[in-house]
Amino acid sequence: MSVKQLIRCNTTTLNDKYLVLEELRCIPYGTEYFVRSIFDNAVFVARVFHDYGLRSEEEYASLEDQFFKVRELETDRIQKPVELFKYLLSGQEFMFPVLILSYPVGQSLRSLMKSQEYGILSENLAGKIGFQVAEQLELVHKASLVHGNLSLDSVYWDMENEAVCLVRVPCLTSLEGPVFNAESEQKYFTPHEVWEGGDLNTASDIYAFGCLMHEVLEGGPPYLGEDQKVEHLYADCPGLSGISGSMNSLILACLNKKPQSRPKSFLLVSKKLKSYQKSKIDKNPAKKGMGSGLILILLLASLAGGGWYAYEEFVEKPKKRKLQERMAKTPPVKPETAVVEETVSPVPEVEALDIPNMVFYKGGQFQMGSQKGFADASYVHPVKLSPFYLDKTEVTHEEYLAFVNSGMALPPETKNPKFSLWQGSVPLPTVLRQPVIHVSWEMAKFYCNSMDKRLPTEAEWEFAARGEEGRDWPWGNEDPHPVKAQFDMEWAGDQTIYEVDFFKSGVTPEGVFNLIGGVREWVQDWYSPTYYEESPEMDPKGPKSGDMKVLRGSSWEQPAEPAYSRDFLSPNDSDNLTGFRCAKSL
Render pLDDT for 291-339 as a digit per residue (tens, 0 to 9). Answer: 333 333 333 333 333 333 333 333 333 434 433 443 444 333 333 333 3
Contact between residue 246 and residue 273 where contact means Cβ atoms under 8 Å apart: no
Contact between residue 365 and residue 383 where contact means Cβ atoms under 8 Å apart: yes
Give me the pLDDT at residue 373, please. Answer: 82
Nearest alpha carbon to residue 274 among 124, 73, 489, 112: 124
Confidence of residue 5 (pLDDT cuts 50, 70, 90): low
Contact between residue 124 and residue 276 where contact means Cβ atoms under 8 Å apart: yes
Torsion sign across C-alpha atoms 412, 416, 419, 421: positive
Render pLDDT for 235-273 as a digit per residue (tens, 0 to 9). Answer: 988 888 778 777 888 898 899 999 988 888 999 899 888
For the chain, the maximum distance between any two Cα atoms, rounded to a whole number of angstroms, is 93
Average pLDDT (388-392) is: 98
Higher pLDDT, 215 or 326: 215
Compute the mean pLDDT over every residue in the chain, rounded to the nearest whole number. Answer: 86
Q: How many CB atoms lie within 10 A of CB 459?
A: 24
Q: Report the amino acid identity of residue 477.
A: N
Nearest alpha carbon to residue 557 among 493, 482, 496, 494: 496
Report the distance separating Cα 450 and Cα 523, nearest Å: 16
Render pLDDT for 159-185 as a digit per residue (tens, 0 to 9). Answer: 999 999 999 999 999 999 999 999 999
Contact between residue 152 and residue 113 where contact means Cβ atoms under 8 Å apart: yes
Give me the pLDDT at residue 45, please. Answer: 96
- At residue 153, φ and ψ (nearest 5 deg) are -100, -5
Render pLDDT for 76-91 as a digit per residue (tens, 0 to 9). Answer: 999 999 999 999 877 6
Q: Report the amino acid identity of residue 144.
A: S
Q: Which residues contact 361 (CB under 8 A, 6 or more apart)?
A: 385, 387, 388, 389, 390, 460, 463, 464, 510
Give me the pLDDT at residue 30, please. Answer: 93
Per-position DSSP letters for 120-143, written without gaps between them: S--HHHHHHHHHHHHHHHHHHHHT
Distances (CA, A) of 474 to 138, 332, 411, 563: 33, 13, 31, 7
Give me the pLDDT at residue 559, please. Answer: 84
Q: Which of 11-15, 213-217, 408-412, 427-431 has the lowest mean pLDDT?
A: 11-15
Render pLDDT for 188-209 as a digit per residue (tens, 0 to 9). Answer: 999 999 999 999 999 999 999 9
* Residue 580 clears pLDDT 70, i.e. is over it: yes
Contact between residue 432 and residue 497 where contact means Cβ atoms under 8 Å apart: no
Average pLDDT (7-14) is: 64
Give me the pLDDT at residue 12, please. Answer: 61
Average pLDDT (362-379) is: 90
Distances (CA, A) of 216 to 118, 165, 167, 222: 11, 16, 17, 11
List of domains in the chain: 3-101 (3.30.200.20), 109-278 (1.10.510.10), 330-585 (3.90.1580.10)
Give me the pLDDT at residue 89, please. Answer: 79
Give me the pLDDT at residue 117, please. Answer: 83
Q: Which of 160-174, 208-222, 267-281, 488-502 has the lowest mean pLDDT?
A: 267-281
Report the distance separating Cα 324 and Cα 321, nearest Å: 5
Distances (CA, A) of 65 to 308, 375, 477: 69, 32, 52
Give me the pLDDT at residue 302, please. Answer: 37
Q: How many CB atoms lie within 10 A of CB 324?
A: 12
Give me the pLDDT at residue 338, please. Answer: 37
Give me the pLDDT at residue 586, please. Answer: 87
Give me the pLDDT at residue 273, please. Answer: 87
Q: Are strands 520-526 and 578-579 parallel, antiparallel or unpaired?
A: parallel
Give me the pLDDT at residue 350, please. Answer: 57
**Do you know the residue count of the chain?**
586
Average pLDDT (125-152) is: 96
Does the predicted model carry a pTM greater than 0.75? Answer: no
Helix, coil or strand: residue 401: helix
Angle of the 397-405 helix axis to the 441-450 helix axis, nearest 10: 80
